């Protein structure tokens, strides 16, 4: 029996939480030390209750320029790109628009699905806090970039982690993409 394996690539600036998201999904909990950047694992995901599972290889990329060639290679086979920014960093959101999205568009296949994810949601204590990026700001950027979806998560608490990968599984097959409460398809 052969499996169609899809590829998901997590991209974003340093310290935005890419590796934490990766580890929270892979290990099932947040790990403060011992991160291994540039890792990958394969996962069976259910995109919907009555749909067959999606086999997905997930790559955690490094934002280091010295590792650009490795990152570029992962783009070539990508089915889904998860563009990640830290809710606590306007700079990481700006980088997402000015660096990561253009890089993805240049190197990825034309039909690659893009999902924008705001990480570190647990740091947004007050919705009016000017130090964090609001949900509406993140959603506006996702719409501007024509992303398939916008989600927020906290690798620390685990909130929204599974939703990212479920949404990504849905996005690998455009016929199964639907608007749901957990995965806001734009």
Write down the domain spans for the chain. 5-185
pLDDT for residue 73 is more than 90: no
Residues 42-63 have a mean pLDDT of 63
User: Coil, strand or helix: which one is 41?
Assistant: strand
pLDDT for residue 180 is more than 70: no
Residue of 108 and 146 predicted with greater confidence: 146
Q: How far apart, in whole angstroms, are the C-alpha atoms of residue 52 and residue 54?
A: 7
Residues 118-124 have a mean pLDDT of 88
Q: Domain 5-185, what architecture?
A: 3-Layer(aba) Sandwich (3.40)
pLDDT tens per residue across span 161-175: 888 888 888 887 653
pLDDT tens per residue across span 13-30: 877 777 777 777 766 656
Cβ-proximal residues to 101 (8 Å cutoff; 6+ apart), any chain: 83, 114, 145
Question: CB-hemisphere CA count at 13 Å for 92?
Answer: 25
Instruction: Characterize the bridge pairing of strands 149-152 and 184-185.
Output: antiparallel
pLDDT for residue 144 is more than 70: yes
pLDDT tens per residue across span 76-102: 888 889 999 999 899 999 999 999 899
Q: How far apart, in whole angstroms, are the C-alpha atoms of residue 147 and residue 144?
A: 8
pLDDT for residue 185 is more than 50: no
Residue of 42 and 141 predicted with greater confidence: 141
Q: State the pTM of this model.
A: 0.78
pLDDT tens per residue across span 33-45: 555 554 544 555 5
Q: How far apart, in whole angstroms, are the C-alpha atoms of residue 81 and residue 112?
A: 7
What is the rounded radius of gyration, in angstroms, for the C-alpha atoms of the chain?
15
Angle between helices 161-171 and 18-27 (to 10 degrees): 90
Question: In angstroms, how far is the first alpha carbon of the chain from the final one?
Answer: 35
- Predicted local confidence at residue 64, as pLDDT: 59
């Amino acid at each position: 029996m052969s499996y169609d394996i899809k590829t998901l690539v997590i991209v974003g600036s340093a310290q935005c939480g890419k590796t934490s998201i990766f580890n929270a999904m892979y290990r099932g909990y947040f790990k403060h030390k011992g991160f291994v950047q540039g890792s990958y694992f394969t996962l069976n995901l259910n995109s919907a209750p009555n749909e067959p599972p999606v086999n997905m290889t997930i790559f955690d990329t490094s934002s280091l320029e010295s590792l650009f060639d490795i990152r570029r290679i992962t783009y070539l086979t990508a089915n889904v790109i998860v563009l990640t920014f830290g809710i606590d960093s306007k700079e990481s959101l700006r980088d997402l628009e000015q660096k990561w999205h253009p890089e993805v568009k240049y190197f990825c296949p034309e039909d690659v699905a893009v999902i924008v994810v705001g990480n570190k949601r647990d740091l947004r204590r007050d919705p009016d806090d000017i130090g964090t990026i609001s949900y509406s700001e993140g959603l506006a950027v996702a719409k501007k970039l024509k992303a398939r979806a916008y989600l927020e998560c906290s690798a620390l608490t685990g909130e929204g982690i599974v939703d990212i990968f479920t949404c990504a599984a849905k996005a690998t097959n455009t016929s199964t993409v639907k608007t749901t409460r957990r995965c806001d398809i734009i």
